[in-house]
Structure 1
Amino acid sequence: MLHLKRPLVFFDLEATGTDPQTARIIQIGLQRFVPNDQGAALDETIDVLVDPKQEIPAAVTDLTGLSPGAVRQAPPLDAHLGRIAPLLADADLAGYNALAYDVPLLKAEFERHGQTLPGPDDRVVLDPYRLEQVLRPRTLSALYERYTDRTLDDAHDALRDVEAAGMVLQRQLAEHDIEGTPADLAQQIRGDYLDDQRRLKQDGSAVVVCFGKHDGKTLREIQSDHPDYFDWMYETIDDLRPHIDDVLE
């Protein structure tokens, strides 16, 4: 149970893309909780559509069910900020994958409208996605116990770890009813990322860099605005070079 000392705002943003620096919000869902004797009480709820003033990719419509026509009839973001800002001003934040996506996106959108994301200096962000990684560790021993209900004896013995990894994989496939070749499974794991180290990611028609000091910028932005860094990346990281060639050909 949560025991609040100040308000806590759960929120989720749907947007035109996956890069917080370039995406625009199309829907805001928000619930504000305040402290009470039982720990927390719902104070206010917001569920609004937002006109992003840009095209909505078909993939986003397929994912969210929000048609461009419906969104274009909604007010733009600046019409909502006056209502949202006071709800955030004294609150901590919470949301699924909020640390990686929703908080940076909301901060960027406030800045695009000449404002600073309001909130206490010691604000915390609770992310259930990150908490799950702590509560359910993903070491081989933890996965083996989770999928087999047995303790992995002799962990870190090479052959024993090989046997355990094979057992975990088979149980994963059976539990989730997954079939396919190793290549099929590798592609499913990789998702929108172009490489196994998750340094380049497909975002609509653009490819976004997911590491280093230009994390979140598109490959073409880096090539145009930071040519020295682009040249270093191209010449130094051998396994990214074929992907960069495919993007920029």
Structure 2
Amino acid sequence: MGWHMGRLAPFDLETTSPDPEDARIVEAYIGRVGGGLDPIDPPGYLVNPGVEVPEEAAKVHGYTTEHLAEHGDPADTAVHAIAAWVADAINEGIPLVGQNIRYDLTILDRECRRHNLPTVEDRTGGELGPVIDTYVLSKYLDPWRKRVSAEQGAHVLKTTAQVFGVEWNDEEAHGARYDALIAARVAWCMGRHAHRPLPERPRLAGRTDQRHLFGALAVDLPTLHASQKRWAAEQAASFQEWLRSPKAGEKRDPDAVVSGEWPLIPFSPAAEQVPA
């Protein structure tokens, strides 16, 4: 039986910022699906971050400062609960599943530190996996996929869902529950294709037939986790090289540094931290 047929723990955060060192959590979701068991599907958990929610962030997820102040739990209480839920999944051996999950796990780590709480790793004896990251897997399986439009990237959750035949609803998107469950469905589709014979796997949008790449997903969870760690590092190095080259055009930065750490960017005491 492939990993896609086992229990999965969809996980996602909505936040105040795209920068994981600065972002505060405003909504969290972690559930349980699959494995022949009934789903555990709680509502999204609202968090009062204790800071102003930028207008740009509120436009994405819909949560304003005022709404969260009225309906969200205090940040320290919420972060403690979220970290405990994530650690429970890891301690139970259930893989976390999400889109660009490194972002979410890094934010959760920084929020724990900000509120002087045990991190997820503190709660799991240093373990942080297995993890299934549909962003890393998408870039590995379909490396030449082009952007859909100026607004819709090649490997964002919406595009990846559409490529793998998972229904997408723009009105429900960008809530933690919706995005987490969509990522789990995408992961399930990837796993299903990986365990099919080569001729039955989908030909994706790349320049050449890449169906053989699915075979690297037809492995046990520890192997898949280790592979994603390697692929994430390779993908970061490739992006960094592109940013430093003339091919990047207006985005060119000769000094660009793209971290390849996965599934968590390690904490650096020297990094500037926003005070609580």
* Class of the TM-score when normalised by the shorter of the 2 chains: 0.5 to 0.7
Partners of 2:12 and 2:128 lie apart in 1 by: 21
Q: Which residue of 1 aligns with 2:14?
A: 14
Deviations 1:65-100 (A, max 9, x none): 21221012122222224543443234231111112x
Partners of 2:113 and 2:40 lie apart in 1 by: 27
Q: Which residue of 2 aligns with 1:161?
A: none
Pairing of 1:28-177 with structure 2 (within 5 A): 28-33=28-33, 36=35, 38=36, 41-73=38-70, 74-91=72-89, 92-99=95-102, 101-114=103-116, 115-117=118-120, 118-119=123-124, 121=127, 123-138=129-144, 143-145=206-208
Q: Which residue of 1 aligns with 2:252?
A: 196
The question of whether the paired residues in 2 share the 8 Å contact of 1:26 and 1:71 is answered with yes
Unpaired runs of 5+ residues, structure 2, are 90-94, 147-204, 210-246
Residues 57, 109 of structure 1: alpha-carbon distance in 2 compared, 3 angstrom cutoff: same
Residues 122, 65 of structure 1: alpha-carbon distance in 2 compared, 3 angstrom cutoff: closer
Residues 65, 198 of structure 1: alpha-carbon distance in 2 compared, 3 angstrom cutoff: farther
Q: Which moved more, 1:76-85 or 1:20-29?
A: 76-85
Q: Kindly indicate whether structure 1 or structure 2 has the higher relative contact order, using CA contacts under 8 Å at least 6 residues apart.
A: 2
SS where residue 143 of structure 1 aligns?
coil
Pairing of 1:172-183 with structure 2 (within 5 A): none
Q: Point out the structure with max Rg over C-alpha.
A: 1
Q: Which residue of 1 aligns with 2:194?
A: none
Partners of 2:124 and 2:22 lie apart in 1 by: 23
SS where residue 207 of structure 2 aligns?
helix
Residues 194, 70 of structure 1: alpha-carbon distance in 2 compared, 3 angstrom cutoff: farther
The question of whether the paired residues in 2 share the 8 Å contact of 1:88 and 1:119 is answered with no
Identity of aligned residues (%): 28
Deviations 1:182-227 (A, max 9, x none): xxxxxxx97xx97335966xxxxxxxx755999999xx95xxxxxx
Partners of 1:139 and 1:63 lie apart in 2 by: 24
Partners of 1:72 and 1:135 lie apart in 2 by: 42
The question of whether the paired residues in 1 share the 8 Å contact of 2:100 and 2:134 is answered with yes
Residues 199, 143 of structure 1: alpha-carbon distance in 2 compared, 3 angstrom cutoff: farther
Partners of 1:60 and 1:11 lie apart in 2 by: 19
The question of whether the paired residues in 2 share the 8 Å contact of 1:32 and 1:87 is answered with no
The question of whether the paired residues in 1 share the 8 Å contact of 2:30 and 2:86 is answered with no
Residues 197, 131 of structure 1: alpha-carbon distance in 2 compared, 3 angstrom cutoff: farther
Deviations 1:152-195 (A, max 9, x none): xxxxxxxxxxxxxxxxxxxxxxxxxxxxxxxxxxxxx97xx973
Letter of the 1:112 partner, please give it.
R
The question of whether the paired residues in 2 share the 8 Å contact of 1:11 and 1:93 is answered with yes
The question of whether the paired residues in 2 share the 8 Å contact of 1:23 and 1:105 is answered with yes
Partners of 2:254 and 2:43 lie apart in 1 by: 34
SS where residue 21 of structure 1 aligns?
coil
**Normalized against structure 1, the TM-score is what?**
0.52
